[in-house]
């Protein structure tokens, strides 16, 4: 018995090593494709947007003095338009931006103020662009530096309105910052609307002050009277299920599935006095491996859900048809077939639901432990291990 367990353990170890190699290969293929295609998507559609507030300053001698906008009223809306390039999905979006600002001359004399608007990314198009300072439309004659600048003379204590708007397209994320580093903002309000429900905020960004669910999306509001922060505002676009990373995760998790399956088959064979040779376990491990190998290459050509179903049917068919010859149809179709469905198919399918994989594994593991403890509670293991 001991030698048999050692042999089964070695089969499990070697199969796990093969799975690790397959997972590494899938990950390498996916990363290589993503790095190569991301730049092409950004060039064709538009890159990640990092929108900054207009920079306002005046010159006092040889130094520049920054002026904080006295109010900011910003509206931004997103139209998610995910696109496929090669075998990967990319989270592209359309964005409508409109910002109205005011600033005041804090000095006691008339000064020339410079207002600079920096485009969020050079890798994008800006349709319907308007830049209006003190009621005067600013012509964009040279945007080679990725910015537009104009100047206006402002009397002491006078307030000047600034407006900027455009329509553009971006990729993956959108950010809005108050300036460089830690910045101050007064009387600030940004209202964001989305046409998607799966909202998420990037790291180091401020959560909205208010959010309201609307048909097809959300309305989010950031409102601050006097804020000093080095954080930004942002939105992470929803991501579609990419088959490459999914196949890699499922493959990395495969040894856990096989461990549970081997354990169940071994315990049931002991309970029913069924002789299953280590070579039989080797072929069962190969049938499990066929699921991940077939799935890894099918997802390159067909829908990920269809690939999953086909791979599951092939693997379960191999196991059931083989055990039917080894131990009989009842054990093959009922005990082994059900065990493989739970520990291979259901465990693997849990990866389709982000955040629930660990919970699914935990619940099924505890349920399995309970069932096995009830089934084996009266077994004399000393006698079982003594007998060949």
Domain count, the chain: 2
Could you tell me which of 322, 323, 331, 319 has the C-alpha nearest to residue 272?
331
User: Is 226 in the same domain as 316?
Assistant: no
Whether residue 295 contacts residue 308, with contact meaning beta carbons closer than 8 Å, is answered with yes
pLDDT at res. 101: 96
Indicate the range of 33-37, 86-90, 270-274 predicted with least confidence.
33-37
Q: Does residue 328 register a pLDDT over 60?
A: yes
In a domain, 370, yes or no: yes
User: Is 90 in the same domain as 198?
Assistant: yes
User: Is 208 in the same domain as 348?
Assistant: no
Domain residue limits at 57: 47-236
Q: 172-195, pLDDT tens digit by residue?
A: 899 999 988 788 899 999 999 999
Residue 386 — pLDDT band, cuts 50, 70, 90?
Answer: low
In a domain, 205, yes or no: yes
In a domain, 111, yes or no: yes
Give the angle subtended at the CA of 175 by the CAs of 173 and 179, to the nearest 5°. 155
Tokens of 251: 């493959």
pLDDT at res. 358: 77
Could you tell me which of 48, 167, 159 has the C-alpha nearest to residue 113?
159
Residue 388 — pLDDT band, cuts 50, 70, 90?
Answer: low
User: Is 168 in the same domain as 248?
Assistant: no
CA-CA distance, 56 to 183, in Å (whole number)?
Answer: 13
In a domain, 39, yes or no: no
Q: 143-164, pLDDT tens digit by residue?
A: 667 889 999 999 999 999 999 9
Tokens of 274: 């069924």
Q: Say what percent of the chain tops pLDDT 90.
A: 43
Tokens of 50: 């990092």
Q: Does residue 104 register a pLDDT over 90?
A: yes
Where is pLDDT greater, at 358 or 366?
366
In a domain, 380, yes or no: yes
Spatial neighbors of 309 by CB under 8 A, at least 6 apart, are none
Q: Which of 220, 236, 252 is the last residue of a domain?
A: 236
In a domain, 305, yes or no: yes
User: Is 134 in the same domain as 264?
Assistant: no
Residue with tokens 């999953």: 308
Q: 335-352, pLDDT tens digit by residue?
A: 888 889 988 998 888 888
User: Is 307 in the same domain as 377?
Assistant: yes
3-state secondary structure the chain: CHHHHHHHHHHHHHHHHHHHHHHHHHHHHHHHHHHHHHHHHHHHCCCCEEEECCEEEEEECCEEEECCCCEEEEEEEEEECCEEECCEEECEEEEEEEEEEEEECCCCCCEEEEEEEECCCCCCCEEEEEEEECCEECCCCCCCCCEEEEEEEECCCCEEEEEEEEEEEEECEEEEECCCCCEEEEEEEEEEEECCCCCECCCCECCCCEEEEECCEEEEEEEEEEEEECCEEEEECCCCCCHHHHHHHHHHHHHHHHHHHHHHHHHHHHHCCCCCCHHHHHHHHHHHHHHHHHHHHHCCCCCHHHHHHHHHHHHHHHHHHHHHHHCCHHHHHHHHHHHHHHHHHHHHHHHHCCCCHHHHHHHHHHHHHHHHHHHHCCCCHHHHHHCC
Indicate the range of 9-13, 283-287, 300-304, 342-346 predicted with least confidence.
300-304
Look over the chain and give the mean of its residue pLDDT values, rounded to a whole number: 87
Residue 56 — pLDDT band, cuts 50, 70, 90?
Answer: very high
User: Is 324 in the same domain as 264?
Assistant: yes
CA-CA distance, 12 to 30, in Å (whole number)?
Answer: 27
Spatial neighbors of 67 by CB under 8 A, at least 6 apart, are 56, 57, 58, 103, 104, 106, 113
**Partner residues linked to 183 by β-bridges:** 229
Residue with tokens 């306002």: 56
User: Is 62 in the same domain as 20?
Assistant: no
User: Is 260 in the same domain as 295?
Assistant: yes
Where is pLDDT greater, at 287 or 274?
287
Residue 139 — pLDDT band, cuts 50, 70, 90?
Answer: confident
User: Is 255 in the same domain as 281?
Assistant: yes
């Amino acid at each position: 018995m001991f030698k048999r367990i050692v042999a089964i353990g070695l089969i499990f170890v070697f199969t796990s090593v093969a799975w690790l190699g397959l997972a590494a290969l899938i990950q390498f293929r996916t990363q290589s494709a993503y790095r190569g295609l991301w730049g092409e998507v950004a060039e064709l559609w538009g890159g990640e947007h990092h929108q900054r507030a207009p920079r306002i300053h005046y010159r006092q001698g040889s130094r520049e003095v920054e002026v904080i906008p006295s109010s900011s009223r910003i509206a931004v809306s997103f139209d998610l338009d995910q696109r496929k390039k090669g075998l990967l999905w990319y989270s592209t979006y359309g964005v409508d931006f409109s910002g109205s600002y005011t600033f005041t001359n804090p000095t006691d004399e008339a000064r020339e103020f410079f207002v600079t608007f920096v485009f969020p990314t050079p890798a994008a198009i800006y349709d319907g662009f308007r830049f209006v300072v003190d009621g005067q439309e600013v012509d964009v004659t040279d945007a080679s530096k990725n910015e537009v600048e104009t100047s206006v003379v402002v009397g002491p204590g006078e307030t000047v309105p600034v407006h900027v708007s455009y329509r553009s397209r971006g990729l993956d994320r959108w950010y809005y910052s108050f300036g460089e580093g830690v910045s101050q903002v007064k009387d600030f309000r940004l209202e964001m609307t989305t046409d998607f429900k799966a909202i998420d905020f990037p790291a180091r960004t401020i959560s909205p002050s208010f959010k309201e669910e609307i048909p097809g999306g959300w309305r989010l509001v950031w409102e601050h009277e006097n804020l000093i922060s080095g954080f930004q505002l942002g939105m992470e676009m929803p991501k579609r299920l990419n088959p490459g990373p999914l196949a890699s995760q499922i493959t990395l998790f495969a040894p856990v599935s096989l461990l549970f399956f081997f354990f169940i088959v071994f315990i049931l064979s002991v309970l029913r006095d069924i002789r299953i040779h280590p070579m039989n376990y080797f072929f069962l491990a190969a049938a499990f491996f066929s699921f991940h190998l077939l799935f890894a290459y099918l997802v390159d050509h067909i829908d990920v859900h269809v690939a999953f179903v086909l791979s599951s049917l092939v693997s379960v068919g191999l196991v059931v048809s083989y055990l039917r010859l080894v131990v009989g149809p009842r054990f093959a179709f009922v005990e082994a077939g059900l065990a493989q469905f739970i520990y291979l198919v259901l465990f693997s399918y849990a990866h389709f639901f982000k955040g629930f994989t660990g919970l699914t594994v935990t619940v099924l593991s505890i349920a399995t432990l309970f069932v096995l403890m009830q089934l084996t509670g009266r077994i004399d293991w000393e006698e079982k291990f003594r007998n060949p």
